[in-house]
Amino acid sequence: MPRVALVLSPGFQMMCFAAISAFEIANVAAGERHYDISILSEEGGPVKSTLGAALETERFGDPGDFDTVIAGGLMKPAPVSDGLIAFLRAASVRCRRVASICTGAFMLAEAGLLDGRRATTHWHFARDLQARFPKVKMEEDRIFIVDGPIWTSAGMTSGIDLALGMIEKDYGADLARVVAQNLVVYHRRAGGQSQHSNLLKMNPKSDRIQNALTFAQQNLRAALGVEQLARAANLSPRQFSRAFRAETGKTPARAIENLRVEAARLMLEQSRHSLDEIAVENGFTDRERMRRAFLRTFGLPPQTIRRATRFGAEG
C-alpha cells in the first residue's frame, strides 16, 4: 500500500489538505485502503497554520518508509530549515516520488531537487523562484508538471489536480474520475493546462453569462450559435449578445473560439490524437479552421505547438 506523507512547516496554508483529501476519497471510493496517509513536520507535535490553528503532526522519520512525500506550501516562500532540506534530499533517493504544492516548490529547489528539471509553482512566485534557482526549468503557466520522480504544482487548488494525477497513475483513470466527482471537481485538469484559463480571463459579472460560458465549455463539439448560448443564459439573442460583450469585452463568437483553442491546445500537449480528431472534438469542423484559429491566437499552427511540446518533454 503506498504511504503518502504531507510535510508541513510553520505557517502552512490550509488548502494543502485539499490534495490529501483526494487520497482519502480514493480509499473510500475504492472500498479498500489504497493509501496510508501521514502528516509530518520536522519536530512533530502541533504546527500552526496561516489561520493560527495548530495541527498535530508526526516527527520526521525514515523517508524510506514512504512511497510519496509532498511538501505543503506556505502563503509565501520562507527560509527552509536544514532538517527539512536533509529530509527532502533523502526522500528523493528513498521514495518513489517527491512533490510540492504551490510554494512548496521553493523547498524542493532549496534542496537541489529541481536542478535541471522542469517545474512550476504559483504564477505569482514563479519568476522569484527562477531568479533564486536559475538551474530550474521554470514553466510558470502550468497546473502541474511531472519530471521523472519529481512532481510540482501551481497554486493551492492545483494540488488536487496533482493528487488526481498520482491516483490515475497508481490505479487508473476510472478511480481518478470517481474521486474527482466525489470532490465535486468538474474534471481533472491535466498538468499541461494553463494556470490562466480563458474562463477566468473573461470574468463575467452575472450568473447568466457565466452559465452560458460553462455550457459552452461542456459542449465545445456542438455548433454553439448565439441562439443556443442565449437559451443557456435564459436571455433573448439580442439581450445576450449585448450583455455578453459588456461583461467579457468579447463577442460570443470570439469567446467560443478562445475556449476551443484552449481545449485543443491541451489535447495537442497531452494526447496522441490526430489533428483531424482534435479539430472535430473541439468544434472546429476541420483542421484548417483550427489552424486559422491557432494562428490568430498564438501566431503558430497546431503542428508547431505539438512539436515544441514534445521537444520540451524530451529535453
Catalytically active residues, by annotation? 102
Q: Please list, in sequence order, all residues whose beta carbon lies within 8 angstroms of the beta carbon of residue 234, skipping any fewer than 6 positions away.
A: 208, 211
* Alpha carbon distance 186, 198 (integer Å): 16
User: How far apart, in whole angstroms, are the C-alpha atoms of residue 256 and residue 212?
Assistant: 10
Place of cell 491566437: 297
User: Which residues on adjacent β-strands are paired with residue 12?
Assistant: 49, 74
Instruction: State whether residue 236 is helix, strand or coil.
Output: coil
* Element holding 116 (H helix, E strand): none
Distance, in Å, from the CA atom of 39 to the CA atom of 56, rounded to the nearest integer, reads 8
DSSP 9-51: -TTB-TTHHHHHHHHHHHHHHHTS---EEEEEESS-EEEEBTT
User: Residue 154 in contact with residue 193, Cβ under 8 Å?
Assistant: no
Q: How far apart are CA 137 and CA 115, in angstroms?
A: 8
Bridge partners (DSSP) of residue 153 are: 144
| Interatomic CA distance for residues 78 and 10, integer angstroms | 10
Give dist(CA 88, CA 38) in Å, integer: 15
